[in-house]
Amino acid sequence: MFNKILIANRGEIACRVAATCRRLGVKSVAVYSDADANAKHVAGCDEAVHIGEAAAAQSYLRYERIIDAARATGAQAIHPGYGFLSENEDFARACEAAGIVFIGPPVDAIAAMGSKAAAKALMHAAAVPLVPGYHGDDQDPTLLQREADAMGYPVLLKASAGGGGKGMRVVERSEDFAAALASCKREAASSFGNDRVLIEKYLSRPRHVEVQVFADKHGGAVYLFDRDCSVQRRHQKVLEEAPAPGLEDGVRRAMGEAAVAAARAVNYEGAGTVEFIMTGTDFYFMEMNTRLQVEHPVTEMITGLDLVEWQLRVAAGEPLPLGQSQLSITGHALEARIYAENPARGFLPSTGTLKHLRMPQGVEFRLGHAGQRASVRIDSGVREGDTITPFYDPMIAKLIVHGATREDALARMKRALEACEVVGPHTNVEFLQRLVICEPFASADLDTGLIERNHDALFSPQQKPVREALALACAALLGREGGAEHGASPWHALSHWRLNSGFAQTLSWRDVESDTAFTVAHTHDGGDETLAYAGHEARYTWWCGEGKDEYGATIGDKRVRGRVFIDGDVFHVFCLGTAMAFEWQNLLAHAADAEHGEGRLTAPMPGKVIAVLVEPGAVVEKGAPLIVMEAMKMEHTIGAPAAGKVTEVLYGVGDQVADGAQLLVLEAA
């Protein structure tokens, strides 16, 4: 086993690898950029080395700096995590040349599976089932259009060197092909430095099922069963589970054996994932990811194994710890990816400081030996007070649960999501809550179009306990203003407290999400309190809980408890499994107006301008694409809100823009 390794990554995967290193007594070295100087993964390692500026291209993708850091610290091996350089054959080759072990597959295996087209040819030779498609070298747009037309629509365009849903487009009609191809190639070139694409027949309502494989340097190879990753938005996974529900034993075994055959075809070593697309009981090879996957924890939960430990042992030359006959499945596991993003705005990334972050009770990582499983596990690379920046993936945490059955795991996931509290950037927590209880997911009617097909149910406004949340907000305000929250003297209070007499006060609130105004009348008379809201009046009592930010209230005969995080005049209430935010309309404060003029087009997120499609003087129709932005590895096109004339373009290609920045001026027709 190694004495010291360097982790060439950041965030939750760097923290995850460091946790295994600590358990095994292996020292770990972190690398960090300007933006990550105080990051959690830096604090979690034994040593840390600064490698560059905030942008990944100037830090985490500069592998010569990473190798220099490994040399300087005496690290014997480098763990690449996932993303960044994890599947970069040049990096693996440079590690080999420097005499440093790359904790991953051989360079030839990375190269073979790095090109989707080449991988398809290898899988065909290895008798692994393939989806019909075009994987040729000729990238002439006319030829590609002809191949797609002959195949029949819909078709799927995929970046040959891609992954993670980048450089991927579904094309429904022949007349849309050229535009989709150009966009796909542009995104592929930006993300992977290679604009080559392949075309596949797009299968309707397919499942995305993948198999975890492991191979050693001694000819051993096993599969550690399967995961269903069908629940996706924009081809990126949202919920994963293991094992894949509803697979017959024969299909599970056949898929596992096909995955091992795929690994053996490229003389694989280490951890890898073979991804299949399924319709019914038929499965087809999609690609092989030559690294550890984001969703590897669900496999760890059902097998009781530490996959990072396996990676280290295999890279150190040891044989696989277990053979195929010794592997088994126990229970069911689910993983939800909690992102800083806004589902209501097309899942646009959200940035900002995590002013308040509270995860459900669980453990960050604990496996060790088979059977030592936590029912709730949190893998996270951020802490309260950290900032989600536009430079990296906006993941806040991975929430993983394990249960004896899928139903047990679902119930545990529902409760765990209800306990998540985040204040700062927008998150997808409430979307995940709706997703895990929606009928298709609950009944395991899974396919990659599940979210879009159930759009109305998943995105429609949800009924929330407004009265109860308002009561807790009032409790927090009265506690703060009355001094009761901290045991302060009422003589110093700013509230309407009176000695030996009653009082009445009107509390004005604004629901931050819906911009709805609420007027609450609070009356205290001879020891009795009442609360009036929306024409209803009820007895009201409130109290401060024992824990920080905990409050309780009784409204009539209903008793409610919750937590309230106060950020200035905004009261974030977490109760009954929901989150609401109310702004106290403090009459002593100045109201701020933010009006946007007609024709003003603003950035929906912080990011970089990668294409300007119009010039001043251009006359455009409603919906015409104007500017393309990129942030957090996502591309977003700004369209014209109405027909008109572009009078001024305020940013050029390569410029960084802030969220809400005006991009151009459009004079309405």
- Residues with catalytic function: 291
Q: With 0-12 CB in 10 A as exposed, 13-18 as middle and 19+ as buried, what is 280?
A: exposed
CA distances in angstroms from 332 to 227, 272, 415, 439, listed in the order given: 10, 21, 16, 18
Bond before 243 cis per omega within 30 degrees: yes
If DSSP codes are grouped into helix, strand and coil, which group holds residue 456? helix
353 - beta bridge partners? 387
The Cα 347–Cα 95 span in angstroms is 37
User: How many other CB atoms are there within 10 angstroms of residue 561's CB atom?
Assistant: 14
Contact at 8 Å (CB) between 111 and 187? Answer: no
Bond before 132 cis per omega within 30 degrees: no
CA-closest candidate to residue 660, choices 595, 608, 606:
606
542 - beta bridge partners? 553
CA distances in angstroms from 233 to 337, 410, 657, listed in the order given: 12, 20, 25
Q: With 0-12 CB in 10 A as exposed, 13-18 as middle and 19+ as buried, what is 617?
A: exposed
Query: Which two three-digit tokens encode residue 171?
Result: 């094309």
- DSSP alpha helices (H): ranges in 406-503? 406-418, 429-437, 439-442, 450-453, 455-459, 466-482
The Cα 314–Cα 327 span in angstroms is 17
Q: Which stretches of 85-206 are assigned E, i.e. beta strand?
A: 101-102, 133-134, 155-159, 168-171, 197-201
Share of the chain residues as helix, strand and coil, in percent rounded to the nearest 5: 30, 35, 40
Query: Which two three-digit tokens encode residue 285?
Result: 């090879």
